[in-house]
Every structure is written in C-alpha cells, then in structure tokens.
C-alpha cells in the first residue's frame, strides 16, 4: 500500500513554540515543504503565513503535492467573520485544503446554531473556490457522546446544504495536536475515536490527525477507513520507523 498518498505532512509550530527565531522556524517549514516534494506526500500542512511561499516552491518543482493550512487554530473560538477572512486570505495565496477548527467549546455549551452556521459558511466558501474543507473537532476535548454528536452534526449540515458530489471534499478531522490533556492522555486520533467518527460522519471522509506514529498504525487507520493522516513525522512513518513526535 502506498501510504504516502494518505499522509498530510504537518508543521504548525510558531517560532516561540519551537524555541526558534522566526528565520530559523521558516527554514524548518521550508525543509518540510522540500521533503514533501521529494517524498511525494499527499499534502504539506503549514500555518497560513507560509502558504504562498510553499505554493511557489511546489509549482517551481512541478510537484503534485497539495498545500493545506489551518483556520481558527488551535482553539477554534475565532468569530465566524475572522475564520472566513483567514480562509479567504489563504485561498488568495493558493491554498488547496482548508482545515477549520470547529468551535467545539460552543458546541459543548449547546450553541448549536453558531456551530452549524460556521460549518455551513466555511464549507460554502471552500467549495465555491474548489478547495478541500476539513473540520477539526478536537476529540481530546470531547467525550464519546460528544464525538458522535459533533461528527453527525457536521455530516447533517453538509448533506442538507450541498450536493452529493461535494461530500468527498468535506472531511471530519480528529485533532489539532495542540490540545493540552491531563495525566498523559492522548490528544490525537485513537482507534476508538476514529471508529466513532467514521460511523457517524459517513459519507463524509475522516482524517486521523495526531497519534499515528508507525507505519503499522497508519495502515490500521487506513483499513478502518480514514482517507488522510496528519503527522509531523511523515517520512519516518513512510519508511517504517517509529515517529518521535507528539503529532
């Protein structure tokens, strides 16, 4: 199985988070982009301010690697207007995939109308510009019932408002990789959470982000039915090594 075609190679740390200067961090991003091109990964996932330069590198290399970015990251509590503006800037810079962080805190508080509206409007903007849209639900912040309910809510909004041929372009995604858990609990995709997502998001595809650290784990996720895997250790996974990153 060509696992590389499932891998979204990911680097989302700010210079402060990485303990680097801005120039040093930009070099790390450039390295991830160049690696994605050389390895033929499905996508390179980076912060919005690096989309334009990444796209230029990929075009110059005549590569098919897609460029993705995160919107409302990592908390998901940005206003709808701010999320749409951030997404539009990324679209203008040549992005291919828009990974919105769903306002899962609003969902947990019962403000379903806010959540439904951002899913509708964010998806509409992405699809109107021929982009892949993913909704990050942050499974580590939710219990099992909430994972089921939010996955189904996203599915229902998409089915009610978009044509069937659009479904494959709207993903439900597990995690940002930046959520702080207690007592060493996983903050990314696990087999139980992915099973719940797939069962309740279908026919929308699912992306397992974070927590996949080996080739064998990646294959297991693919066999469960995920269509993308987000990881900062794509090369290690593809080459059969064990990833040493938290994401």
Residue pair 111/123 in contact (Cβ under 8 Å)? The answer is no
From the number of C-beta atoms within 10 Å of its C-beta (0-12, 13-18, 19+), residue 62 rates as exposed
User: Cis peptide before 209, with omega less than 30 degrees from 0?
Assistant: no
Residue pair 27/50 in contact (Cβ under 8 Å)? The answer is no
Alpha-carbon distance of 229 to 81, in angstroms, equals: 29
Q: Where is 16: in which H helix or E strand?
A: helix 15-18
Q: List, as one string, the DSSP characters of 121-179.
A: HHHHHHHHTT-EEEEE--GGGS-HHHHHHHHHHHHHHHHHHS-GGGGGGEEEE---S-P
Residues marked active site are found at: 99, 173, 207
Q: How many H-runs (helices) and E-runs (strands) does the chain carry? A: 10, 8
């Amino acid at each position: 199985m060509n696992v590389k075609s499932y891998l979204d190679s990911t680097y989302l740390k700010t210079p402060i988070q990485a303990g680097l200067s801005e120039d040093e961090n930009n070099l790390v991003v450039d390295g991830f982009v160049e690696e994605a091109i050389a390895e033929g990964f499905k996508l390179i996932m980076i912060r919005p301010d690096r989309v334009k330069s990444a796209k230029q590198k990929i075009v110059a290399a005549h590569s098919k690697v897609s460029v993705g970015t995160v919107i409302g990251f990592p908390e998901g509590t940005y206003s709808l207007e701010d999320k749409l503006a951030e997404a539009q800037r990324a679209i203008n810079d040549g992005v291919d995939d828009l990974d919105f962080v769903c306002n899962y805190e609003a969902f947990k508080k019962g403000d379903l109308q806010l959540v439904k509206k951002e899913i509708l409007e964010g998806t509409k903007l992405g699809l109107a510009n021929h982009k892949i849209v993913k909704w990050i639900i942050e499974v580590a912040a939710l219990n099992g019932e909430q994972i089921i309910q939010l996955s189904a809510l996203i599915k229902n909004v998409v089915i009610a408002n978009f044509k069937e041929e659009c479904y494959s372009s709207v993903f439900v995604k597990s995690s940002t990789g930046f959520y702080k858990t207690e007592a060493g609990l996983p903050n990314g995709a696990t087999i139980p959470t992915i099973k719940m997502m797939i069962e309740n998001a279908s026919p929308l595809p699912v992306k397992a982000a974070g927590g996949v650290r080996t080739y064998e784990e990646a294959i297991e996720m693919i066999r469960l039915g995920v269509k993308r895997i987000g990881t900062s250790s794509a090369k290690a996974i593809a080459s059969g090594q064990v990833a040493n990153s938290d994401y």
